[in-house]
Amino acid sequence: MGTDLEKIKEEGLLAISGAQDFLFLEEAGRRYLGKKGVIADFFDGLKDLPAEERRAAGQKANAVKITLQEAYDKKRAQFTIEERQKIGAEKIDVTMPGQAVESGRLHPLTLVLREAENIFKSMGFEVAFGPEVETEWYNFDALNIPEWHPARDMWDTFWLKQGNTKNKEKILLRTHTSPVQVRYMEKHKPPIRIIAPGKVFRYEATDASHEIQFHQVEGLMVDENISVANFKAIVETFFQRFFDNKNIKIRLRPSYFPFTEPSFEIDVSRGEGKWLELAGAGMVHPKVLTAAGVDSSKWQGFAFGMGLDRLAMIKYKINDIRLFYQNDLRFLNQF
Ligand code: PHE
Residue spans of the domains in the chain: they are 2-90, 108-332
pLDDT in tens, 14-45: 999 988 988 999 999 999 999 999 999 989 98
Mean pLDDT of the chain: 92
Residue 169 corresponds to which amino acid? E
Q: Which atom of ligand 1 is nearest to the CA of 175?
A: 4
Whole-number Å distance, alpha carbon 173 to ligand 1 midpoint, is 16
Residue nearest to atom 9 of ligand 1 (CA): 304
Give me the mean pLDDT over the 234-240 stretch: 96
Candidate from 143, 178, 203, 256 with most ligand 1 atoms within 8 A of CB, to mutate: 178
Least confident of 43-47, 90-94, 123-127: 90-94
Whole-number Å distance, alpha carbon 154 to ligand 1 midpoint, is 11
Share of the chain above pLDDT 90, in %: 73
- Separation between Cα atoms, residue 269 and residue 169, nearest integer Å: 43
Give the pLDDT band of residue 3 (cuts 50, 70, 90).
low
Judge contact between 278 and 248, C-beta under 8 A.
no
Give the pLDDT band of residue 55 (cuts 50, 70, 90).
confident
Burial environment of residue 222 by CB neighbours within 10 A (0 to 12, 13 to 18, 19 or more): buried
Positive or negative, the Cα torsion across 240, 244, 247, 249?
negative
Whole-number Å distance, alpha carbon 283 to ligand 1 midpoint, is 11
Residue 214: its H or E element: strand 213-223
Judge contact between 220 and 192, C-beta under 8 A.
yes
Candidate from 176, 266, 277 with most ligand 1 atoms within 8 A of CB, to mutate: 176
How many CB atoms are closer than 10 A to CB 165?
Answer: 14
Give me the mean pLDDT over the 228-233 stretch: 95
- Which pLDDT value is given to residue 164? 65
Whole-number Å distance, alpha carbon 307 to ligand 1 midpoint, is 10
Give me the mean pLDDT over the 85-94 stretch: 83
Compute the CA torsion angle 164, 165, 167, 173 (nearest 10 deg).
-140
- Which pLDDT value is given to residue 153? 83
Please check the confidence at residue 1 and state whether its pLDDT lies above 60: no
- Which pLDDT value is given to residue 165? 62
Pocket of ligand 1 (CB under 6 A): 176, 178, 257, 260, 280-282, 303-305
> Which residues fall within 8 angstroms of residue 256, CB to CB, at 6 or more apart?
151, 263
Q: Give CA separation, 136 vs 152, 159, 261, in Å.
A: 11, 9, 22
Q: Which atom of ligand 1 is nearest to the CA of 304?
A: 9
Q: Which atom of ligand 1 is nearest to the CA of 200?
A: 4
Whole-number Å distance, alpha carbon 280 to ligand 1 midpoint, is 5
Please check the confidence at residue 92 and state whether its pLDDT lies above 90: no
Q: In what order do the strands lie in the sheet with 133-135?
A: 133-135, 171-173, 159-160
| Three-class secondary structure of residue 332 per DSSP | helix
Phi, psi of 196 (to 5 degrees): -135, 95
The CATH number corresponding to 108-332 among 1.10.530.10, 1.10.3720.10, 3.30.930.10, 1.20.1730.10 equals: 3.30.930.10
Compute the CA torsion angle 220, 225, 230, 231 (nearest 10 deg).
30
Compute the CA torsion angle 234, 237, 243, 246 (nearest 10 deg).
160
- Which pLDDT value is given to residue 310? 92
> Which residues fall within 8 angstroms of residue 332, CB to CB, at 6 or more apart?
105, 107, 108
Give the pLDDT band of residue 104 (cuts 50, 70, 90).
confident
- Interhelix angle for 38-45 vs 2-17, to 10°? 170
pLDDT in tens, 279-306: 999 999 999 999 999 999 999 999 999 9
Whole-number Å distance, alpha carbon 176 to ligand 1 midpoint, is 7
- Separation between Cα atoms, residue 328 and residue 185, nearest integer Å: 39
Length of the chain: 335
Phi, psi of 176 (to 5 degrees): -160, 170
Residue nearest to atom 7 of ligand 1 (CA): 305
Candidate from 156, 257, 261, 306 with most ligand 1 atoms within 8 A of CB, to mutate: 257
- Which pLDDT value is given to residue 53? 85
Whole-number Å distance, alpha carbon 264 to ligand 1 midpoint, is 9
Please check the confidence at residue 101 and state whether its pLDDT lies above 90: no
Closest CA to 316 of 85, 16, 43, 106: 106
Q: Which atom of ligand 1 is nearest to the CA of 281?
A: 10
Whole-number Å distance, alpha carbon 199 to ligand 1 midpoint, is 14
> Which residues fall within 8 angstroms of residue 221, CB to CB, at 6 or more apart?
125, 192, 193, 194, 230, 231, 234, 301, 302, 303
- Separation between Cα atoms, residue 300 and residue 223, nearest integer Å: 6
- Separation between Cα atoms, residue 283 and residue 263, nearest integer Å: 7
Whole-number Å distance, alpha carbon 326 to ligand 1 midpoint, is 26
- Separation between Cα atoms, residue 302 and residue 219, nearest integer Å: 8
pLDDT in tens, 154-208: 889 999 987 666 667 899 999 999 999 999 999 999 999 999 999 999 999 999 9
Give me the mean pLDDT over the 217-226 stretch: 97
